Structure 1
Amino acid sequence: MRGKRSKGLRLGTTVVALAALLVGGTACASEDDPASPGGTSPGGGGIKDGLSVAFLPKQVNNPYFTVSDNGGKAAVAEFKGEYKEVGPSEASASSQVSYLNTLTQQGSDVIVVSANDPNAICGAVNQARQGGAKVVTFDSDTNKDCRDLFVNQVTGQGIAENQVELISEAIGGAGKIAILSATANATNQNAWIELMKTELKKPEYAKIELVTVAYGDDKDEKSFQETQGLLASYPDLKGIVSPTTVGVAAAARYLSGSQYKGKVALTGLGTPNQMREFVKNDTVKSFALWSPADLGYLAAYAGAALASGVISGKEGDTFTAGKLGEYTVGADGVVVLGPPTVFDTTNIDQFDF
């Protein structure tokens, strides 16, 4: 099922797990539980107390990263570490470098970063690693040689299949579509877009034409304006895919108040709280996302496992991420959270993030 959407996925195990997290809160393991912070994990050894863990998102005050970083904060509290969040207000390529340098000087044990650019922070990341920090990328990766692990929200192929399937359903399998992305250098966005282009070459999507890719730079107003520009440039556009939480919400806001509502379909990756009103007023039929809180939570545990010597980051290493259970490191030091969840009118009110 990984990466493929189905009707059962909506109310299946992924949704149940999400609901348990969001409604039930964080459960604490007992001291004798192998998964507890002080116990012995399947990967060997336990998480050290007092680890300093810093989260460096693409930009602070972004709703998506607020949720994901708070998931990391919850994990750090569980294994009795010290948490902090720092970061730029602008998601530009080099904006994270100074923060990485400062965290290195402060002697951070673990740095969890979502890269704005695959190469711009590599020098600073390697300096941090030379200084003793374990560096985990999440959400958006660097060059694989510039970090210890990458915690991926879902496989790129899974995102591509999900997004193309959703927009195909929304436009009846035929018509012109556009993609509204984040920044032009965003590692994850670019990988997903290339995979979506490949997915669109399948016979079942032969009647769908991707006409352009626009960039809103993960800024609300620019994304809003880019949506307006797309519709002005392509008056026969049938749909927009925006695989970024800022972009899809801004596009939905524009469509909701325009003549294109109900005529131009929109899907993408967004949070239920951002998109609820647009689903309920029929601007958006469905969209998808993983649990950003789980992503941050998993990234924190992965970093702690590295810093504690539970794992080294090589393929086949296993570790326990608190309530999420056991994970295995894959090829190129990648750990995958799981498949995306589709949100629509049937389930959106079950979630609060």
Structure 2
Amino acid sequence: MKKLTLAAIVGLGLMSGSALAASAWTGGDDQPTNPLSCDATPATVAAKPYDGGVPTNPPDRKGKEINVVDVPKLIGIGYFNATSKGIADAAAELGNVKAKTDGPTKANIDEQITFIDNYITSGVDGILFAANDPVAIAPVLKKALEKGINVVGYDANSTPDARQWFVNQAEFNGIAKALVDNMAKEAGEDAGVAIVTSTFTTPNQARWIAEMAAYAEKCHPKMKWLETVEAQEDNNLSFNQATTLINKYGDDLKGIFGMTSVATPASAEAVTQAGKCGKIAVVGLATPNAMKPYVEKECVKSVVLWNPVDLGYAAMQVLRAVADGTLQPGATSVKAGKLGDLQVINGSEILLGAPYTFTKDNIGQFDF
């Protein structure tokens, strides 16, 4: 199985149906992959120089109360309500942080930039963000750094020089391992599987898919990759695409990967309506609330994500450490309250940890 460029995808479209079904793996990118070990051996992280930004003449904030604003992609949805809760929990625990979440009500980069710019003008000590666009957001974040404001990202990064640190919820190869291992366990080592994603060029999903291909080739080589389809983050289209896969491949389809929080529940609904629960496994990325009905009915056994409450909590802890000067360029770890020591990776990223798998045993404990 080879990782395919978009040019190769076009070429595959000219092949016969049997050849396409046997070898197609669309949606991946052409960047190098780094599949994890087949067992639980941790990956070795190579040291890399700090590549984050540096604030200009920041005041001494060590131990002093700081005002922090959190500007996520958008407000009012369960996921960012959960990260906001984690930020508030950490601020209350620290005791010397005033934190608030504010931002656009839709994922609009121009509006997000305006919110950040307004808080720079009004005056804050720290900014937390989850970027709608990594490049477009960079100038306003650099403006914040130039004003001596501490800047930390989470969930969705900016260009590294536009913030000091980024809290990475999970590495791409870690997500890939969790998804593929769960699918092999549920559908079988030689299962025929398909993918419902948003678009072939969405950066994080293309990276996940490329890493899934590399990890499966290494650790589950008998798994059969049938097809990857686009669904544009649209619920109806995701359902229709999953239904088409079910009808197209029949008994050869043993599993569907959902690569978005929309595609996964829509695929589960398609499997439910087709009467295929227990015959077609659905494994994917989604929030627990969206998947509870399917998990509780045992139509879906596992949902892979990360704990966004912990993600927000970690981001706030990191910003406090930056403000106090206890997290400096070159550090290999940072203390993050109840989460313990978190590892520094890739120069200026801090890893929350391994992906979290929600199952029937634990999914009821979460509300987002």
Query: After TM superposition, is the score higher than 0.5?
Result: yes
**Aligned pair 1:96/2:112, yes or no?**
yes
Letter in 2 for 1:249: P
Closer, same or farther: CA 116–223 of 1 in aligned 2, 3 Å: farther
1:263-278 equivalences under 5 Å are 263-278=279-294
TM-score (norm 1): 0.76
Aligned to 1:251: 267
SS state at 1:202 partner: helix
Letter in 2 for 1:170: E
1:48-63 equivalences under 5 Å are 48-63=63-78
Aligned to 2:86: 71
Q: Distance in 2 between matches of 1:182 and 1:315?
A: 37
Q: Distance in 2 between matches of 1:250 and 1:59?
A: 22
Paired residues of 2:38 and 2:219 also in contact (CA < 8 A) = no
**Aligned pair 1:127/2:139, yes or no?**
no
1:1-353 equivalences under 5 Å are 48-79=63-94, 80-92=96-108, 94-173=110-189, 174-181=191-198, 185=202, 187-202=203-218, 204-209=220-225, 211-217=227-233, 222-232=234-244, 235-236=248-249, 237-312=253-328, 314-316=329-331, 318-351=333-366
SS state at 1:189 partner: helix
SS state at 1:200 partner: helix
TM-score (norm 2): 0.73
Closer, same or farther: CA 76–244 of 1 in aligned 2, 3 Å: farther
Letter in 2 for 1:337: L
Closer, same or farther: CA 139–188 of 1 in aligned 2, 3 Å: farther
Closer, same or farther: CA 65–210 of 1 in aligned 2, 3 Å: farther
SS state at 2:256 partner: strand
Question: May I ask how many residue pairs the two structures share in their alignment?
Answer: 308
SS state at 1:332 partner: coil
Paired residues of 1:239 and 1:265 also in contact (CA < 8 A) = yes
TM-superposition CA deviations, 1:297-349 (whole Å, max 9, x none): 0101111211232223x132544322222334333211111112323234434
SS state at 1:266 partner: strand
Letter in 2 for 1:201: E
Q: Distance in 2 between matches of 1:62 and 1:239?
A: 29
Q: Distance in 2 between matches of 1:182 and 1:83?
A: 35
Closer, same or farther: CA 249–207 of 1 in aligned 2, 3 Å: closer
SS state at 1:201 partner: helix
Q: Distance in 1 between matches of 2:226 and 2:106?
A: 29
SS state at 2:217 partner: coil
Once superposed, what is the RMSD of the aligned Cα atoms? Answer: 3.0
Closer, same or farther: CA 347–84 of 1 in aligned 2, 3 Å: closer
Letter in 1 for 2:196: I
Letter in 1 for 2:354: P
Paired residues of 2:238 and 2:262 also in contact (CA < 8 A) = no
Closer, same or farther: CA 4–90 of 1 in aligned 2, 3 Å: farther
How far apart are residue 170 of structure 1 and its match?
Answer: 2.9
Q: Distance in 2 between matches of 1:232 and 1:322?
A: 47
Aligned to 1:15: none
SS state at 1:112 partner: strand
Paired residues of 2:132 and 2:156 also in contact (CA < 8 A) = yes
How far apart are residue 123 of structure 1 and its match?
Answer: 1.6
Mean CA deviation greater in 199-208 or 104-113: 199-208
SS state at 1:129 partner: helix
Letter in 2 for 1:232: T
**Structure with the greater alpha carbon radius of gyration:** 2
Closer, same or farther: CA 316–47 of 1 in aligned 2, 3 Å: same
Mean CA deviation greater in 145-154 or 199-208: 199-208
Q: Distance in 1 between matches of 2:219 and 2:110?
A: 41
Letter in 2 for 1:135: V
Q: Distance in 2 between matches of 1:215 and 1:117?
A: 20
Q: Distance in 2 between matches of 1:334 and 1:94?
A: 25
- Segments of 5+ residues of structure 2 without an aligned counterpart are 1-35, 41-59
How far apart are residue 213 of structure 1 and its match?
Answer: 4.4
How far apart are residue 260 of structure 1 and its match?
Answer: 4.5
Aligned to 2:43: none
Closer, same or farther: CA 320–204 of 1 in aligned 2, 3 Å: closer
Paired residues of 1:317 and 1:328 also in contact (CA < 8 A) = yes
Q: Distance in 2 between matches of 1:112 and 1:229?
A: 36
Aligned to 2:44: none
Closer, same or farther: CA 87–208 of 1 in aligned 2, 3 Å: farther
Q: Distance in 2 between matches of 1:337 and 1:128?
A: 25
Mean CA deviation greater in 323-332 or 57-66: 323-332
